[in-house]
Amino acid sequence: MSKSISIVIPTYNERENIADLAERIHHALSPRDYEVVFVDDNSKDGTAELINDLAARYPLRVIVRKEERGLATAVIHGIEHSDGETVVVMDADLQHPPEVITDLLGAIEKGADIVIASRYVKGGGMKEWGLIRKIISKGAIVLAHLLLPATRSVKDPMSGFFAFKRQALGKARLSPRGYKILLEIMIEGKFKNTAEVPFIFESRRGGESKLNAKQQVEYLKHLFSLMRRTGELWRFIKFCLVGASGVGVNIGIFALLTRLGGIGEKDFLALAIAIEASIITNFILNEFFTFRDRRAPGASFLLRLLKFNVICAAGAAIQAGIYGGLYHGLGLYDLVSDFIGIIIATLWNYVLNQWLTWK
């Protein structure tokens, strides 16, 4: 029989935490109609056996996967093999306090399609995180916000603790990787009303962390895959094509002015005019091609032109600085120095313009 709330919890060697977890969830949720679906990847410490024992006391069940391993796929498996109208996803190691589930459900009842337990809204945070882990966490979020605009509505799109209405997920085709399952769900699910509630990410109670450096690489691959699927990768390619066309405009105008324009001796003036002309043609092409869907009508056109101009001028200065540092400073081959400068300036121009000019 279908339950109204399904709590999906991936586990791998979490025996030490399960009894506490089940008790605290029950305490927080009873007498609501809920079930906990554990997806265990054949843990060797007896996690699944303990869950089966506890099922006599609490509404729990465990699905054991023998062929597959991985957090994100385990969560998807649990979502697909449960049927509650509301789905809650959380970790087993008590870093996600079960008491926060009632806040998540409260936000869903108020009309949110998806609600995230967030470390980065007022009242949220993390215990005992070192500086490095904090920087990695924040850096990953900034990257997602920059490259996947659909994540910008929430401050913590990396949280592993969230709830959503199953109906709102629709027939989304999820192709999960690595650890960041929420990103996949947010982007493929196309939810309308998002909400966040604060929570403090606790220290792990027992057992061991399964997080390792490989997950960071997986994260980058996942981002790339999401950029491809959302069209953001194509947008970046368009931006580079426009940039290449600007090089043509730049050289063409420079040649015209110095050969035919009668300012042969004032080549720096010709260069400045050529650069400005290429910035303007790049702007127009980006406005009507690369960022067509992100144009706001009216007077903001001029403001966007101004922003684009300032950012690209700074980009040109960065390119010149990198060239100078690598060629004159480090003695690198001049064309290689120039190429590296172009790549970094292009990334600068793209990131800043899509962040500030075409929001």
Ligand X SMILES: Nc1nc2c(ncn2[C@@H]2O[C@H](COP(=O)(O)OP(=O)(O)OP(=O)(O)O)[C@@H](O)[C@H]2O)c(=O)[nH]1
In the complex, the smallest distance separating the C-beta of residue 179 from ligand X, rounded to whole angstroms, is 6
Helix, strand, coil percentages in the chain from 3-state DSSP, rounded to 5? 55, 10, 30
Partner whose footprint covers residue 69, from Mg ion, ligand X, none (CB < 5 to 8 Å by kind): ligand X
Which residues contribute to the site for ligand X (CB under 6 A)? 10-12, 14, 39-41, 69-71, 74, 91-93, 95, 204, 209-211
> How far is CA 21 from each of CA 15, 64, 169, 321, 333, rounded to the nearest angstrom?
10, 18, 27, 55, 60
Partner whose footprint covers residue 14, from Mg ion, ligand X, none (CB < 5 to 8 Å by kind): ligand X
Partner whose footprint covers residue 243, from Mg ion, ligand X, none (CB < 5 to 8 Å by kind): none
Nearer CB in complex with Mg ion: 12/58? 12
In the complex, the smallest distance separating the C-beta of residue 219 from ligand X, rounded to whole angstroms, is 11
- Kindly provide the b/e burial profile for residues 139-154, where b requires at least 16 CB atoms within 10 angstroms of the residue's own CB: ebbeebbbbbbbbebb
Nearer CB in complex with ligand X: 110/133? 133
Nearer CB in complex with ligand X: 81/328? 81
First to last CA, the chain: 46
Partner whose footprint covers residue 10, from Mg ion, ligand X, none (CB < 5 to 8 Å by kind): ligand X
In the complex, the smallest distance separating the C-beta of residue 299 from Mg ion, rounded to whole angstroms, is 49
CA-to-CA distance for 268 and 181, rounded, in angstroms? 53
Nearer CB in complex with ligand X: 79/279? 79
Phi, psi for 114 (deg, rounded to 5)? -145, 135
CA-to-CA distance for 109 and 259, rounded, in angstroms? 71
DSSP state of 153: T
CA-wise closest residue to 246 among 146, 351, 358, 345: 345
In the complex, the smallest distance separating the C-beta of residue 130 from Mg ion, rounded to whole angstroms, is 15
Q: Which residue is nearest to Mg ion (CB)?
A: 93
Nearer CB in complex with ligand X: 71/311? 71
- How many Cα atoms sit within 13 Å of 20 on the Cβ side? 16
Which residues contribute to the site for Mg ion (CB under 5 A)? 93, 95
Nearer CB in complex with ligand X: 104/279? 104
In the complex, the smallest distance separating the C-beta of residue 206 from Mg ion, rounded to whole angstroms, is 11
